[in-house]
Amino acid sequence: MIETARRKRLAGRGLFIVLFLAILFLRLMPLNPGQVVWPGPDISLCLTLAWVLRRPDHAPVLIIALLFLIEDIMLFRPLGLWTAIVVMGSEAARSRELRWRELPFMVEWLRVAMLMAMLMLGYRIVLAVFFLPMPPLGQVILQFIATTAAYPIVVGLLRWPLGLRRGLSEADTRYR
């Protein structure tokens, strides 16, 4: 019984890592070289928040920090800044996961959108305080809108083929 729960948890962690790295790989591919396009959604942030709210024991904080640190390095962002902000945001979502579990999806979507807005605003404030180069505000707003719109799609894709749903995790069922 314990081996089965441990195996499921390790499989969930492995799947999270593989999906995150696949998203990072697709983000690094030059799909439209030379063309200026609108900023796309941050699918890795959507994946992380959806995973933390559905199976918090499958996405531990160290894995999230390591994956976002790799993303910072690969995308030439200030090293560790977005990582620290996402870790704080994902831990805030993890601490509220039990309360959000019974709420309808629209309420979850609204709360996740507010959390994403606070994360992006915090990132922008830290960049401004330390006089680091910032992307134009219009691009940040467009990326926020795209990320917020992509969240239900990511949740739907996690639910339909992967079966990742809100509910009791293995850790919660052990103590009931």
Domain ranges in the chain are: 2-26+40-174
97-145 pLDDT tens trace: 888 888 899 999 999 999 999 999 999 999 999 999 999 999 999 999 9
Extract long-range pairs of 5-14: CB within 8 Å, 24+ residues apart: 5/170, 5/174, 8/170, 9/57, 9/58, 9/170, 12/55, 12/57, 12/58, 12/59, 12/164, 13/58, 13/59, 13/60, 13/63
Total-model pTM: 0.88
- In this predicted structure, the answer to whether residue 8 has a pLDDT above a threshold of 50 is yes
